[in-house]
Amino acid sequence: MNIRSEAADFLRSRRARITPEQVGLPTWGERRRVTGLRREEVALLAGVSVEYYVRLERGNLAGVSEAVLEAVSNALRLDEAERAHLYDLAHAASSRGRAARPVRGVVRPAVQWLLDSMDGTAAYVRNNRTDILATNALGRALYQPVLAMAGRPNVARYVFLDPSAPEFFVEWDRICYEATALLRSLAGENPYDHGLTELVGELSTRSDTFRRLWADHDVRLHRTGVKKFHHPVVGDLTLAYESLQVTADTGLRLNAYVAEPGTTSADAMRLLASWATEPHPQPALDPERS
């Protein structure tokens, strides 16, 4: 990822969505030639010179202080994910040339034991490229369409490139947006990860939907929420999920899905758990598959 270009495009996109009225600036009824705030207005709100802000918006984030980043974040009304992304870009700009952090392709035995102990919960572990590295039995059953894809199972690649994805993910449009915003955040955290860059390039080349959403520069922290599935075996499911960092293993997250007790989704999950105990051909999560 080109850090300078990414930073410039990100700041411009955030500035374009904020109107003077939203931040209490008068317009005096003037006709404006720009969408959103002007650079000088952001500079005023952030308490920096216009020249300095122009430099930032050209992508020159190397050496920028935390106080300035916070001031710009406040001026542009960045949310938590956007602030984190701006800080990630500034950190990357200040450490140019640093080697990419290693991306894990397997989980430790204790992590697999933890997954296997989660009865009634569908769970899997992914890395910071959205590759699925390990599952428990119910997680494998729930994500069976994703795990059946050719090559290493990858959630983002499945969402945008597999023809079954719009049926499996009931709210596919929302899932596309969230997956793109997550990848943008991951790219800011891991700007020198060639595998992640190749994934973004592949999706940009092969998916019009991804290419359009990627151009918006939106970012997202994937922590908690609700997803709706149409599973090929048990039908419709509405599941709450939590995404937890595996703190001992940088870049790994454990995603766990549960149904609200007493609902039809809970009944469907019990049926899916029963189906998961029956013998079925299961694709191996081979760390060498790519």
pLDDT in tens, 9-56: 999 999 999 988 888 887 766 777 777 999 999 999 999 999 999 999
pLDDT for 129-159, tens place per residue? Answer: 999 999 999 999 999 999 998 888 999 999 9
88 with 119, same domain: the answer is no
Local confidence band at 106 (pLDDT 50, 70, 90 cut-offs): confident
134 with 202, same domain: the answer is yes
Domain-ending residue, one of 59, 94, 129: 94
Q: What is the signed CA dihedral for 150, 201, 130, 236, rounded to 10 degrees?
A: -70
Local confidence band at 268 (pLDDT 50, 70, 90 cut-offs): very high
pLDDT for 170-202, tens place per residue? Answer: 999 999 999 999 999 999 999 999 999 999 999
- N- to C-terminal Cα separation, the chain: 21
114 with 233, same domain: the answer is yes
132 with 78, same domain: the answer is no
Q: 104 in a domain, yes or no?
A: no
Range of the domain at 86: 3-94
Give the whole-angstrom CA distance, residue 87 versus residue 52.
Answer: 17
48 with 113, same domain: the answer is no
Nearest Cα residue to 137 out of 279, 27, 289:
279
Q: 282 in a domain, yes or no?
A: no
Give me the number of domains the chain comprises.
Answer: 2
190 with 116, same domain: the answer is yes
**119 CA to centre of own chain:** 27
Q: 265 in a domain, yes or no?
A: yes
128 with 71, same domain: the answer is no
Local confidence band at 113 (pLDDT 50, 70, 90 cut-offs): very high
pLDDT number for residue 287 = 52
* 3-state class (DSSP) for residue 115: helix
49 with 116, same domain: the answer is no
Give the whole-angstrom CA distance, residue 222 versus residue 239.
Answer: 15
What does the block give as tokens for 157? Answer: 């690649």
Q: Is 154 exposed, middle or buried (0-12, 13-18, 19+ CB in 10 A)?
A: buried
Domain-ending residue, one of 38, 67, 94: 94
Give the whole-angstrom CA distance, residue 146 versus residue 219.
Answer: 23
Eight-class DSSP state of 240: E
Q: Would you say 62 and 56 are in contact if contact means Cβ atoms under 8 Å apart?
A: no
Long-range (24+ apart) CB contacts under 8 A made by 190-194 are: 190/100, 190/101, 190/103, 190/128, 190/251, 191/1, 191/3, 191/6, 191/88, 191/89, 191/92, 192/1, 192/92, 192/98, 192/99, 192/100, 192/101, 193/100, 193/101, 193/103, 193/128, 193/129, 194/100
Q: 88 in a domain, yes or no?
A: yes
| CATH at residue 80 | 1.10.260.40
78 with 190, same domain: the answer is no
Arithmetic mean of pLDDT, 58-79: 96
Alpha carbon separation from 248 to 31, 84, 184, 245 (Å, rounded): 55, 21, 24, 9
pLDDT number for residue 290 = 40
65 with 131, same domain: the answer is no
Domain-ending residue, one of 33, 59, 94: 94
266 with 170, same domain: the answer is yes
121 with 259, same domain: the answer is yes
DSSP notation for 44-96: HHHTS-HHHHHHHHTT--TT--HHHHHHHHHHTT--HHHHHHHHHHHHHHHTT
pTM given for the model: 0.90
pLDDT number for residue 28 = 67
